């Protein structure tokens, strides 16, 4: 599994977004609309979609409405950052973090350049807590 790492270039960051139902899209657009302008002191960048966000170069990416990662089914270890539970997977060139126990799943790809990569989760926690209802706490 590769962390979405894209070459630095002009224009929006290309992020593959999942096909979601209208209610999920609406919720995701609220979350994305409330995300901070910077993550790990990196400025927000435009993306090719409406339910994703990106910051910095190489980009830290966030995608809303993702499916449960296959690895989560066999290993559901959870760690909490500012009230949000996350599942972590090491990817090629960085880490993938997927929310656990929320109305919709959100996934962040954080390149190794930003180590410690989990620090990026602090910056997005408020928007997730505000708009994405917790159903199951991180255990």
| pLDDT at residue 46, rounded to an integer | 96
Note whether 121 and 99 are within 8 A (CB). Answer: no
Q: In three state form, how does the secondary structure of 31-61 look?
A: HHHCCCCEECCEEEECECCCCEEEECCCCEE
List the domain range (segments joined by +) for residue 34.
Answer: 22-131
Query: What's the whole-model pTM score?
Result: 0.89
| pLDDT at residue 83, rounded to an integer | 94
| pLDDT at residue 5, rounded to an integer | 42
Residue 5: inside a domain:
no
Q: What does each of the 139 residues of the chain score in pLDDT, given as a tens digit?
A: 444 444 444 689 999 999 999 999 999 999 999 999 999 999 999 999 999 999 999 999 999 999 999 888 766 789 999 999 999 999 889 999 999 999 999 999 999 999 999 999 999 999 999 999 999 888 7
Residue 138: inside a domain:
no
Instruction: Provide the number of structural domains found in the chain.
Output: 1
Residue 2: inside a domain:
no
Residue 7: inside a domain:
no
| pLDDT at residue 119, rounded to an integer | 96
> In 3D, which of 63, 74, 59 has the Cα closest to residue 5?
59
> In 3D, which of 44, 74, 49 has the Cα closest to residue 63?
49
Residue 83: inside a domain:
yes
| pLDDT at residue 105, rounded to an integer | 97
Beta-carbon contacts of residue 107 (< 8 Å; ≥ 6 apart)? 62, 63, 66, 69, 96, 97, 98, 99
| pLDDT at residue 2, rounded to an integer | 45
Residue 74: inside a domain:
yes
State the virtual CA torsion across 105, 124, 50, 14 in degrees, nearest 10: -90
């Amino acid at each position: 599994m590769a962390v979405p790492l894209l070459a630095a270039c002009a224009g929006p960051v290309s992020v593959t977004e999942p096909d979601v139902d209208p209610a999920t899209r609406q919720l995701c657009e609220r979350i994305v609309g409330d995300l901070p302008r910077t993550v790990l002191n990196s400025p927000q960048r435009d993306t090719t979609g409406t339910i994703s966000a990106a910051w910095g170069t190489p980009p830290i990416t966030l995608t809303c409405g993702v499916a449960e990662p296959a690895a989560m089914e066999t290993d559901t270890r959870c760690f909490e950052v500012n009230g949000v539970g996350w599942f972590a997977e090491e990817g090629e060139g960085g880490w993938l973090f997927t929310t656990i126990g929320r109305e919709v799943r959100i996934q962040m790809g954080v390149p190794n350049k930003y180590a410690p990569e989990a620090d990026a989760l602090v910056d997005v926690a408020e928007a997730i807590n505000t708009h994405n209802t917790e159903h199951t706490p991180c255990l």
